Structure 1
Amino acid sequence: MAQQEQQPLVMAVQNAMRADPDRALCLWFLPSSVRDAAYVLLAFHNELIRALAPARSATVAGPMAGYIRLQWWRDVLEGQRKPEHVLAPPLMALVDSGKVRRETCLSMIAAREMELEAQQTEQSVERWTLMMREGAGAFQRAIAELLGVCDSDTLQRVENAGAAYGAGAMLRHWPLLLGNGRFLFPGTPEQLRQTGEMFMQECHFKSLGALGRKAALPVVLAKRDVARGPEQAGLPRGIGDRLAVCVAGVQASLATIFSITPIRTE
Structure 2
Amino acid sequence: MIKEKSKPLSFCGQYIRKSDPDHFFCALFMPSDLREQYFRLLAFYTEITRAVTLSSSWDVAGPMAGYIRLQWWRDLLANKSDRDHEIAPYIKDSLDRNLFSAEDLLKIISAREEELEGIKNWNHWDSIMVRSVGQIQRILANLFKIRELPLVEAVIAAGIASETVHISKNLPNIFRKGRCPLPAEIIHDFSLQRSENGISVTSSELNAIRDILIEKAYFYLRRSEKACLLDRHYRSVILPVILAKRDLHRFEQWDHLSRKRGIGDKLSVLKANYWVKLKISET
Give TM-score scaled by structure 1 length.
Answer: 0.78
How far apart are the structure 2 equivalents of 1:61 and 1:234?
A: 35
Change (3 A) 1:264 1:242: closer
Q: Work out which of the residue numbers 249, 252, 258 in structure 1 matches 2:273.
A: 249
Spell out structure 1 runs of 4+ moving beyond 6 A: none
How far apart are the structure 1 equivalents of 2:238 and 2:230?
A: 9
Change (3 A) 1:69 1:57: same
Q: Does 1:110 align with 2:110?
A: yes
How far apart are the structure 1 equivalents of 2:233 and 2:75?
A: 31
Partner of residue 56, structure 1: 55
Change (3 A) 1:69 1:179: closer
How far apart are the structure 2 equivalents of 1:151 and 1:94?
A: 24
SS at match of 1:56: coil
Report deviation, 1:24. 1.0
Q: Work out which of the residue numbers 177, 191, 212 in structure 2 matches 1:191.
A: 212
**RCO higher in 1 or 2 (8 Å CA, sep ≥ 6)?**
2
Q: Work out which of the residue numbers 164, 168, 184 in structure 2 matches 1:167.
A: 164
Change (3 A) 1:161 1:83: farther
Q: Is the 8 A contact 1:51 1:66 kept in 2?
A: yes
How far apart are the structure 1 equivalents of 2:103 and 2:149?
A: 14
Change (3 A) 1:82 1:177: closer
Partner of residue 98, structure 1: 98
How far apart are the structure 2 equivalents of 1:38 and 1:219?
A: 16
Equivalences for residues 188-227 of structure 1 within 5 A: 188-204=209-225, 205-227=227-249
Q: Is the 8 A contact 1:143 1:215 kept in 2?
A: yes
Change (3 A) 1:90 1:57: same
Q: Among the aligned pairs, what percent are the same residue?
A: 35
Q: Is the 8 A contact 2:161 2:218 kept in 1?
A: yes
Change (3 A) 1:229 1:103: farther
Change (3 A) 1:145 1:57: farther
Instruction: Figure out how many residues of one structure are paired with residues of the other and give that number.
Output: 244
Q: Is the 8 A contact 1:111 1:134 kept in 2?
A: yes
| 1:233 maps to amino acid | D
| 1:139 maps to amino acid | I
Partner of residue 150, structure 1: 147
Report deviation, 1:146. 2.4
Deviations 1:196-237 (A, max 9, x none): 111111111322333542111111112122232242226323
Partner of residue 27, structure 1: 27
Partner of residue 264, structure 2: 240
SS at match of 1:85: coil
How far apart are the structure 2 equivalents of 1:71 and 1:234?
A: 37
How far apart are the structure 1 equivalents of 2:22 and 2:105?
A: 20
Deviations 1:109-157 (A, max 9, x none): 2232222222xxx642222222222222222222222223333332222
Q: Does 1:181 align with 2:178?
A: yes
Deviations 1:62-102 (A, max 9, x none): 32122112122223334554683332232133234332243
* RMSD of aligned residue pairs (Cα, Å): 2.8
Q: Work out which of the residue numbers 223, 231, 236 in structure 1 matches 2:253.
A: 231
Q: Is the 8 A contact 1:173 1:230 kept in 2?
A: no
How far apart are the structure 2 equivalents of 1:148 and 1:172?
A: 32
